[in-house]
Chain A
Amino acid sequence: MSLKRKLARLSSAGPGSRPARPAHPPPASPPPARPTPDAPETEAGRERRARVAKLRGMLGQMIADERRRLKERVRETPAPIELPGELVTTPHGPMHRVAQYLEPSHRHGRVPIAGAVRVCARTVAKLALDAELARIDPRRLLFLDTETTGLAGGTGTIPFLIGLAWFEDESLRIEQLVLRAPGEEAPLLRRLAERVEAASAVVSYNGKSYDWPLLRNRFVLNRVPVTPPAAHLDLLHCARRVFKRRLGRVRLVHLEEHVLGMRREHDIDGAEIPQRFWDFVRGADGSLLAPVIEHNAHDLVALAAILVSLVERYEEVLPEHEPADRLGVARVALRAEDHERAARYAQAAADAGGPGDVTADALWLASEIARRRDDPRARCALLHRGLEVAADALRASRFHLALAKLYEHDFREYERALVHARACDVAEGAAARDHRVARVLRKLERRRGQPALAHPPAGSPAEG
């Protein structure tokens, strides 16, 4: 059986495929010619052939008429909406570009985005826990966000919209490169490489593990040389550390709503994006992509705004900053070995009168910082405060445990230690608790020089 016939019998092309549409026929190929017998042509045969030829002629005429009518109808309808932007000629082929400037006073939500050119590189490095970033020049940041033909990754996923933005003085220049058809990626990639090379760092949202590896694939596949970014600031990781506690989810839209104080109107559903691109490529008009382009531009501006907002939160405690976010910053500062700031923010988080668990965790963090600074008195006070606000058994028990150790080992106040040790079971298990209680009792007994007042619970280990 020929491959053609076998193909004809396959009902589906498997996952990812859609039913064949008669409107898009396969490349025309003549049907296999039937073998004709070598017998001399008969009169009847000749007549039949003439009839077939006549019919074919008539059919051809009908089809041509139909086509003409269709064309005329197309001419009557309003011209298709073009893709926004312009087609520019480059030495590597044509490239579709959507360019715009945003005024220095532009705000995204409540945040003035031009603040991004003044951010302190050292702060950024701490926020991102990446020392490389301490050397960046904030005036030369390249904001990058792509829209792709799928989320699967691999060489078959194409970033068909490469969104770039950078500051020129204090105006944000947005340049979005749109792929008009697969196979025309080279000029887009060249432009991207140029901008990456000019930038002191790339700023993205999940670009380290998603956008950039995909783009790297495209450079390899299209044989376009590229220098990797000098530094890469992935705001997803920074935002997660600061806002996850409060927001739960930290996609860009969540941050816009709860951090930048704005809501996008008519934003496109991300799941629709790949199909819109393929429909566009297959001949649908540019209006299909307009919302995608708008969505991408929005994301780029949001990147600048989130950077400003994060840096601001790291540098200064403002009354409107949520306690949970303060706690997040405190944790980041602690990891960045910025202990003074960590202590201040933990304290600020604890003092803000937020939810009990946030206050308790902030006090716990503050007590840990006090421990590192070797200040048991301060630590003791923080732990006692924590114990007061800790609402759940596990948190309370942890405070008891820390206090039990503190009183036993640091202050040698065994009676107080005993009170807390008895409440340690949730944190360390009943057996360890019993053991601890027994030991404290023994110490107490030795100090008093008389038998213990209380007996250890039955079944506890004798000595350890």
Chain B
Amino acid sequence: MGEPVSRSAFGERPAAPWAAPRGLGAVMEAWRGDPSVSRCVALEQVLPARQGRYAPLPGELADPVAAALENRGIERLYDHQAESFTRARDGEHLVVATPTASGKSLCYNLPVLDRLAREPAARALYLFPTKALARDQEQALRALMKEARLEHGAVTYDGDTPGDARRAARERSGVLLSNPDMLHAGILPHHAAWARFFANLRFVVLDELHTYRGVFGSHLANVLRRLTRIARFHGSEPTFLFASATIGNPDEHASRILGQPVSLIGESGAPVGQRRVMVYNPPVVNPELGIRASYVKTAVRLAADLVRAEVPTLVFGQSRNSVETMLKYLRDRLAADKVDPELIQAYRGGYLADTRRRIESGLRNGSVRCVVATNALELGIDIGSLEAVVCAGYPGNVAGLWQRFGRGGRRQGDALSLLVTSSHPLDQYVANDPRFLIGAPVESARIDPDNVEILIQHLKCAAFELPFEEGEAFGDVPEDAVADALGFLETHRVVHAAPNGEGKRVWHWATDAYPANHVSLRSVGWDNYVIVDLDRDRTIAEMDWRSTHTMLHEQAIYQHEGEQYQVEKLDYENHKAYVRKVEPDYYTDAMTYTNVRVMSEDDGAWVKLGGDDGFAAGVGEVSVVEKVVGYKKIKFHTHENVGYGDVRLPEMQMHTTAFWLTVSEDVVRRQPVSRATVVDALRGLGNAMHLVAAVGLMCDPRDLGQTLGDRSDEDGPPTAEGGGPGFDPTLFLYDQVPGGVGLATRLFVERETLVRRTRSLVEGCPCEDGCPACIGPDVGALTPGGAPPSRSPVARKALALDLMRALGVAPTH
């Protein structure tokens, strides 16, 4: 080290670090004056500051609570807070969906505290998706309750709560803060010991509702069915208050989760400062292939400008790996400016609790200036106000982007929200039409509480908690469906039916198992893997089962807190990965192979859109087999591919719902090119369709899997030669969730729109012959990520369009 001093002596740097411009304004000015930056800006829009709308403290608010607010200098509320109070007080189930930092927690705290002040025996249950959030709220709530002179405690009850504190939580807390997992496995199965709590339960608060999507949301809906059932047994009917970040369908989503109508408070009365939204699309470096400069490196460069100018900055990465890579790059880059590397920290899921706590407090007190984070920080943890948010890569949905942008920005003063787009198709879709980010309806959260695998597991838990009586519904699951499911459980001897005094059948739990222990809400049924550092013999992180396959296979480079570790041994049986610190000049990227097989077709249709021909579309249950077959070594900084390796891991199998389109062999044979070329063009169409589906469904593209296979094929995907005779290439789009959460079903309903929009996307794309934003660059069979593409001898894009025409999808113009 010591290099920078001598370099500046040679005049390579425009200014010494202490003379460098400071503040956001200076950075913006510098960027505007630098054509290499300004020409890449795809969008720069200033969202004006907005005045607040206020309402007086409601007259009905209990005196001690009103006094506590006044003591804090709160003499009026935002109008949405006042409205929430009045409606919640009347027992209406509500969802508050207003932007970050609009005072959502007061929307639910006021009615709850008001009730506690009036009814000393009353109880409330707060559920947060993470332990950290519950602990955060506990502190804030305790202070407020003390100021309101409420005798009730606010107690966090989670896996970390020690034994004696648990008893106090059960018996004395006015507000119990917990998480759905604890409610599911630690409270409901023991509800008899919580009789007083449930008998007096008046409010249930669920914050961060938008995080309960997909499997997790489907599980949560079932946990709430169980909660409502148990509360009713103990004689209470609590009011549910939800809070959500902005999503497209907050009230629909909340109603689906609760199984009862929930009304919406969606207009925020809070003032906001001016916000500059920028989209930065890195320059094209390979026009033929549509490949752009690395978004990771670009984001690092822009973030470094901000950090150097002392602007508190939050950088979001797409994955754990990219977060670690960016941390390393940022620290390396800023070391040249003598910026203390400790000022820059990473924050992601998988870090142990105390590491995360340390970083959170560092952000608040200023000892940390820049945090590189995954979406673990998306959630409402209080980190103070940050002036700039840099999003490296589009998170896959508008709601997620705004959730991240919302982590920065203040009530007053300017803030920067910057998106750096990657070469990924969806990112390019956004960069080409960035205005849709602003003012567009944001995505809807979807769940399927009636997913049979999930439902059955929760019926078991519910039967354990309380026997089912004939004619009993389960939330909004009708009684005859419940009876069917219980009959199924009876044949498996999990429950036992016996008549009660009135001659009705009653199903009792009838095994010695404790069912909640076998149901994990976060993924379907698999435990985490722990990562053990061999040198220090310490657990450094955890990882879910699915990610383990791609990130912890043997020889993988696992990145953690800016350090690289190599996986030496993966103990698959015992869920442990043993790693050792290394200093390689590369990282690894796993290659996955996917095969889809149709198990049953629920519905099918012949799609004909004007032309002579058409194609078959279908929806139904499929088995998806994924297998990590190898990995690539990617060199740091240059991102060259410097080698391959094998991976031997069991395949992952899942039953889910898929939507598919089948191109008949006839059509394939009629094309004037080889079968392999047709298959390749179809793959391209699959790429485009996946993109359109993700945007059209407004879902995260990662929730939707895509692959090309054969409708009837049992032996895997077509080979490079394009399969033998009798091969009907089929495009599959499937829910990336066992059992499915309804995405594929929705695609089947909208199949015609989907195909038409795919056509217009490919037609309208300005690229030469396929780019990531349409049919993708030419890719081989086994190349996820960015393997070196080889040029295809034919015009793929034209062929794709020809193929669509042959299938009867007429040109849009």
Contacts and interface: CB of A to CB of B under 8 A. Distances in A.
Nearest to B745: A1
B735 to A, nearest CB: 14
Interface string A149-167: 1111111111000000000
Nearest to B620: A1
Given A149-B512, A221-B466, A26 B456 contact: no
A25 B190 CA distance: 32
Given A26-B487, A213-B193, A281-B496, A156 B621 contact: no
Interface stretch (A12-20, A40-48, A330-338, A414-422): A12-20
Interface stretch (A3-11, A74-82, A112-120): A3-11
Contacts of B497: 27
Contact of A16 (B456, B488, B490, B513): B513
B515 A182 contact: no
B472 to A, nearest CB: 14
Nearest to B190: A154
A149 to B, nearest CB: 6
Contacts of A151: 512
A181 interface: yes
A25 B500 contact: no
B37 to A, nearest CB: 54
A217 B511 contact: no
Nearest to B194: A220
A220 B465 CA distance: 12
A18 B496 contact: no
B488 A7 contact: yes
A152 B512 CA distance: 7
Contacts of B519: 14
A17 B515 CA distance: 10
A49 interface: no
Contacts of B528: none
Contacts of B498: 181-184, 281
Interface in B184-202: 189-193, 195
Interface residues of A, number: 49
B200 to A, nearest CB: 15
Contacts of B450: 3
Given A13-B494, A17-B489, A220-B192, A29 B453 contact: no
B508 A150 contact: no
A196 to B, nearest CB: 17
B500 to A, nearest CB: 5
B493 A156 contact: no
Contact of B467 (A29, A183, A220): A183
B508 A29 contact: no
B383 to A, nearest CB: 38
A155 B506 contact: no
B463 interface: yes
Contact of B500 (A4, A14, A183): A183
Nearest to B481: A3
B192 A278 contact: no
Contact of B452 (A10, A14, A25, A216): A10
A17 B464 contact: no
Interface in A136-178: 149-158
A152 B518 contact: no
B219 interface: no
Given A6-B452, A216-B192, A152 B514 contact: yes
B496 A15 contact: no
A220 B195 contact: yes
A278 B511 contact: yes
Contacts of B191: 155
A157 B508 CA distance: 10
A209 B676 CA distance: 69
Contacts of A71: none
A21 interface: yes
B541 interface: no
A34 interface: no
A455 interface: no
Interface in A15-72: 15-21, 24-27, 29
B491 A274 contact: no
Contact of A150 (B456, B465, B466, B513): B513
Nearest to A12: B492
Most chain A beta carbons < 10 A, residue from B460, B481, B491, B518:
B491
Q: Is the interface of A mostly helix, strand, loop or mixed?
A: loop
Contact of B466 (A29, A155, A181): A155
A282 B621 CA distance: 35
A183 to B, nearest CB: 5
Given A154-B464, A278-B496, A24 B491 contact: yes
Interface string A230-254: 0000000000000000000000000
B501 to A, nearest CB: 7
B456 A153 contact: no
Interface in A193-216: 213, 216
B510 interface: yes
A10 B510 CA distance: 20
Interface string B432-471: 0000000000000000001011001100100111110000
A182 B510 contact: yes
B512 A274 contact: yes
B484 interface: yes
B329 interface: no
B465 A155 contact: yes
Interface string B473-484: 000000001011
A93 interface: yes
Nearest to A223: B233
Contacts of A4: 484
A19 B481 CA distance: 21
Nearest to A93: B501
Contacts of B490: 24, 26-27
Given A155-B465, A181-B498, A213-B193, A9 B493 contact: no
A307 B492 CA distance: 44
Nearest to A1: B602
Contacts of A24: 490-491, 493
B487 A17 contact: no
Given A4-B484, A17-B494, A278-B496, A156 B514 contact: yes
B195 to A, nearest CB: 5
Contacts of A21: 491, 493
Given A17-B511, A149-B512, A183-B500, A1 B493 contact: no
B517 to A, nearest CB: 8
B457 to A, nearest CB: 6
A13 B457 CA distance: 8
B513 to A, nearest CB: 3
B753 interface: no
A278 to B, nearest CB: 6
B466 A7 contact: no
Interface in B598-622: 599-600, 602, 620-621
Contacts of A181: 498
A220 B190 CA distance: 11
B485 interface: yes
A270 to B, nearest CB: 11
Nearest to B463: A156
Nearest to B655: A9
Contacts of A10: 452-453, 456, 488
Contact of A13 (B193, B460, B517): B460
The 9 closest A-B pairs by CB, nearest first: A16-B513, A150-B512, A156-B464, A152-B514, A182-B508, A26-B487, A217-B192, A13-B492, A6-B452
Given A7-B485, A149-B511, 18 more contacts: A3-B452, A9-B621, A10-B456, A14-B456, A14-B460, A14-B518, A15-B518, A20-B493, A25-B491, A27-B483, A154-B465, A156-B465, A183-B500, A184-B498, A216-B192, A217-B192, A281-B496, A282-B493
10 contacts: A5-B600, A7-B452, A9-B655, A13-B492, A17-B494, A27-B487, A152-B517, A155-B189, A182-B467, A221-B192
Interface of B: 189-193, 195, 450, 452-453, 456-457, 460, 463-467, 481, 483-485, 487-494, 496-501, 506, 508-515, 517-519, 599-600, 602, 620-621, 655
